[in-house]
Amino acid sequence: MTESQSPQSRLPRTSTLLLIAVVLLIGDGVLMVWQPYRKYHRGQRATSVIERLGGDVVTEVFPPSWMPDSVDDEYLSVFGRVTQIRLTGAQISPAEFEHLEGLADLEILSLTNTHVSDAGLVYLRGLSNLRGLSLNGTQVSNVGLESLQGLANLKTLGLTNTRVSDAGLEHLRGLTHLKNLSLGDTQVTQAGIEKLRQSLPDCKIEWTPSSE
């Protein structure tokens, strides 16, 4: 015969459950505050580096849904996110390029005529919100394009005057949201373009044979 527990014997268990619930609530609250701060400081570090190199940065504020509308804008800066970076012609080093990693809200990135290489593109792998990327006039080759495969929302990609060839186009076949792609003055051939168009029928591809 099973003995029933008295109300007193159930109190410790109830208290324990309440304690766990409070801890979880506090933990969630800490995460809700900590995560925006972490993103904010990452964006601030990147902005400092980009501006020091002569680049331009655009930041937008994305307050959370639970934030009251009555909160003044001056208190919302912590929810600022870097959405656009233009580094055209800047002499950026590999160490400085690392600051682009983790900028999850970045939508537009221009690296035209910079010293970015295949190794630097590794830091773009997690930028899932990226819609526009210019690598025109860089040393990027087929190897670097492998790092772009996960940029599923990419719509515009500039690869003019790069070291890309037909083999590298294989890494772009999965970018089904791509609408504009420039491949002028590369090692890409007419055959490579036609094959890529089969995978990206809705993409406008600008291409001219290499001048070499």
Residue 5 located in a structural domain: no
Residue 28 located in a structural domain: yes
Residue 110 located in a structural domain: yes
Diameter over CA atoms, the chain: 92
Number of domains into which the chain is organized: 1
Q: Is the pLDDT score of 31 beyond 50?
A: no
Residue 113 located in a structural domain: yes
Look up tokens 């491949």; give the residue: 183
Residue 2 located in a structural domain: no
The domain that holds 104 is classified in CATH as: 3.80.10.10
CA atoms within 13 A on the CB side of 92: 33
Residue 211 located in a structural domain: no
**Distance (Å, rounded) from C-alpha 211 to C-alpha 184?**
9
Q: Is the pLDDT score of 74 beyond 90?
A: no
Residue 1 located in a structural domain: no
pLDDT tens, residue by residue, 3-20: 444 444 444 445 544 444
Q: How confident is the model at residue 33 (pLDDT cuts 50, 70, 90)?
A: very low
- The answer to whether the CB of 136 falls within 8 A of the CB of 116 is no
Contacts 24+ apart (CB under 8 A), 38-45: 39/81, 39/104, 39/105, 40/77, 40/78, 40/79, 40/80, 42/102, 42/103, 43/80, 43/81, 43/82, 43/103, 45/99
pLDDT tens, residue by residue, 136-176: 999 999 999 999 999 999 999 999 999 999 999 999 999 99
Residue 176 located in a structural domain: yes
* Domain that residue 107 falls in: 11-206
